[in-house]
Structure 1
Amino acid sequence: MTITFIVNQVRKELAGYTTTALALEAHRRGHTVYYAGVGDLVYLPDGRVGAHSRKVPDREFRSLHTFLEAVVTEEKRLLSSKNWDVMWLRNDPAADMEKRPWAQDAGVLFGQLVQQQGVLVLNNPNGLVKASNKMYLQYFPESVRPQTLITRDMADVEAFYRDQHHRIILKPLKGSGGKNVFLIDKKEDKNRKQIVEAICRDGFAIAQEYLPAAKKGDIRLFLMDGELLQRDGKVAAIKRVQQSGEIRSNIHQGAKAKKAVMNKEMEHIVEAVGPLLREDGIFLAGLDIVGDKLMEINVFSPGGLIHACEFQRTDFMDEVISAVEKKVANLA
């Protein structure tokens, strides 16, 4: 099959990204693999979507680093979607929010057209529209969600803060990677107004109940087609433990990845959210879990799968690409 990965900007991809490992696995399995940034997408005069794409060279690679280096040095060439079997949207819209706002929705918008042209688009762009910000979490059962307020009104936040015994989490409705996430308690109360104002300059603010279990970190759990991503009884998940004095569990914010162990609370969450993810066409998702609560659902470019492979000593990339092959075969 021919698979095109759409990322934010090809030259800014890193060897440690899950996208890199997925693309290398597809290449190793003999598939034709292309990379394109959202700015490389094109609507062609014949009604097709295309992209100025970089092709993965036809040779073997010893590491993710040499693989990505080879991709970046390739010359771009314009290809039409009639040459694609799969378009995989792996760009993070939130990463383009400040400097490239025009790029935020480009992947989804082009992806919707590509899907109509008979190409398998992952994740389903219509589902991604629905899940384009943290409001998506509110579609899932209340039993697995923390108490949440979404507003632009300071008085609403004040009332919620009091109801939550002066300890809440504040963050923007649209964003990712742990950016602008704050713990507000009596120590930080003096900054609450300024924080809310700063968040609301760019949109709505989310106020969430603080979960004491967050001190022990969180779990990034991967689902594929609404079910646990697993292989030989091993589950694709990692535990993320934040640095001392830090509330964010994002790896690139300094958190440390550790091996995760599946428990009944996580199983309950999967049972609660899996059906809707599958219905919305979310092929690969990353759930962020604290205790028995689901904090976020990452649907655009969930990372950390390389760590899960390392800790579980199994190849989840193979499992994912195998599932994509089956989807393409079923469309034929």
Structure 2
Amino acid sequence: MKICFIMYPWSAIDPEADSTLRLIHECVKRGHTVALSTVNNLTIRDSVASAFCDVFTKKNKCSDNIVAFYKAADFKKAQLPLGGFDAIIMRANPPLDALALNFLDSVRSGTFIMNDLDGLRIANNKIYTASFQDTASEFIPATHVSKSRDYLERIFQDSQSDKMILKPLDGFGGRGVIVIEKSAQQSFRSLLDFYIGGDEHGKGSNYVILQDYVEGAEEGDVRILMLNGEPIGAMKRIPDSGDVRSNVHAGGRVVKHKLTAQEKRLCKYIGPKLVRDGLYFTGIDVIGGKLIEVNVLSPGGIMRINKLNRVKLQVDVIDFVESVVHAKELVLSRKNEFRKAIEDANAV
């Protein structure tokens, strides 16, 4: 297969922990032609969507050691048509550059893109969890999103809880997530001014999220990796002392985790919608059996879950990509056979 990863720069990878590197290594190890690009390197040439790519050369044997593989990687630079790839795996870091997705719209019918472009458009921010609210609060904490300082102040004042979570709509990696308590209500307006920003007319302002505090958040959250609507691995992330954020990049640590009955029910509940939206590989963050966030751009955790459970989740992910590409090829092959049969029937 010919696979393109649209991701962050190769030089930004931490080879000890990076999930994308595990996926790339698995593809190269299987003998696939692998190219890397970034959203800034997408372009159009003669009305054809293409990308400036670094293509793995096949001069050297692929090392089983991923760190050694990273250090020995050798590339050839080329501008390549995106429509020539069997699969494009989206692994760019948030926030999403929505305009970049337009470069890929022209190739989506013939190339498998994971995750689907429309899915990325609707799910790249924290509002997406609200789309699961149709059957109530069992799985989703009450969430409020607004730019209105007055409205958010009323929500906070009317809350039955002593504390709530405040965070930016487009944040990632735990950045900007804070707990606000009723005892510090006099500071709330100042926090809203900082988070929402903008001028007196609202220009340049940002949406923020005010969310019910889920009991147990101080003990950490659970990252669950979902593949084709099913959980394939999980870990618990425990925050650093005095910090509500469980993200590893924010100082949290990880421990082995077995899904609870409630977490399994949550996965079963949201899995079909993720698949319908073309979100085949995601990372969901769960606290107390409730869905907090859905990570769709470059969900991480593969290396850490692998290490905790002695598995290789990248194998499952690339198996899935191969199966989808094979199915598309099968459909095309049968279509060509049928077309030939019709042409032969019309031959003189």
**Normalized against structure 1, the TM-score is what?**
0.90
Report the alpha carbon displacement of residue 189 of structure 1 after superposing the two structures with TM: 3.1
8 Å CA contact retained: 2:166, 2:208: yes
Match for residue 238 of structure 1? Answer: 235
Residue 161 (structure 1) aligned with residue 164 (structure 2):
no
1:126-137 to structure 2, matched below 5 A, reads: 126-137=118-129
Mark the structure with the bigger radius of gyration. 2
Give me the identity figure in percent.
29
Match for residue 100 of structure 1? Answer: none
Consecutive unaligned residues in structure 1, runs of 5 or more: 95-102, 230-235
Q: Tell me the distance in 2 between the aligned counterparts of 1:8 and 1:106.
A: 16
Match for residue 67 of structure 1? Answer: 69
Match for residue 114 of structure 1? Answer: 107
Match for residue 336 of structure 2? Answer: none
Report the alpha carbon displacement of residue 62 of structure 1 after superposing the two structures with TM: 4.2
Change (3 A) 1:48 1:70: farther
SS in 2 for 1:252: helix
SS in 2 for 1:212: coil
1:44-123 to structure 2, matched below 5 A, reads: 44-45=45-46, 47-58=47-58, 59-71=61-73, 74-94=75-95, 104-116=97-109, 118-123=110-115
Q: Tell me the distance in 2 between the aligned counterparts of 1:56 and 1:178.
A: 33
Q: Tell me the distance in 2 between the aligned counterparts of 1:81 and 1:292.
A: 40
Consecutive unaligned residues in structure 2, runs of 5 or more: 198-204, 330-348
8 Å CA contact retained: 1:167, 1:186: yes
Deviations 1:94-129 (A, max 9, x none): 2xxxxxxxx72244222322213x111110011111
Q: Tell me the distance in 2 between the aligned counterparts of 1:75 and 1:12.
A: 19
8 Å CA contact retained: 2:166, 2:178: yes
1:6-25 to structure 2, matched below 5 A, reads: 6-15=6-15, 16-25=17-26
1:90-239 to structure 2, matched below 5 A, reads: 90-94=91-95, 104-116=97-109, 118-141=110-133, 142=136, 143-162=138-157, 163-186=159-182, 188-201=184-197, 202-229=205-232, 236-239=233-236
Change (3 A) 1:108 1:184: same
Match for residue 288 of structure 2? Answer: 291
Report the alpha carbon displacement of residue 187 of structure 1 after superposing the two structures with TM: 5.0
Q: Tell me the distance in 2 between the aligned counterparts of 1:268 and 1:293.
A: 10
Q: Tell me the distance in 1 between the aligned counterparts of 2:307 and 2:218.
A: 24
Residue 322 (structure 1) aligned with residue 315 (structure 2):
no
Deviations 1:135-163 (A, max 9, x none): 11100133311011111112222222221
Q: Tell me the distance in 2 between the aligned counterparts of 1:140 and 1:82.
A: 34
RMSD across aligned positions (CA): 1.6
Q: Tell me the distance in 1 between the aligned counterparts of 2:275 and 2:33.
A: 27
Report the alpha carbon displacement of residue 223 of structure 1 after superposing the two structures with TM: 0.8
Match for residue 273 of structure 2? Answer: 276
Change (3 A) 1:237 1:107: farther
Residue 31 (structure 1) aligned with residue 32 (structure 2):
yes
In the comparison of the two structures, how many residue pairs are matched?
315
Report the alpha carbon displacement of residue 35 of structure 1 after superposing the two structures with TM: 0.8
Report the alpha carbon displacement of residue 268 of structure 1 after superposing the two structures with TM: 1.3
Q: Tell me the distance in 1 between the aligned counterparts of 2:130 and 2:10.
A: 33
Moved more, 163-172 or 62-71: 62-71
Report the alpha carbon displacement of residue 61 of structure 1 after superposing the two structures with TM: 2.2
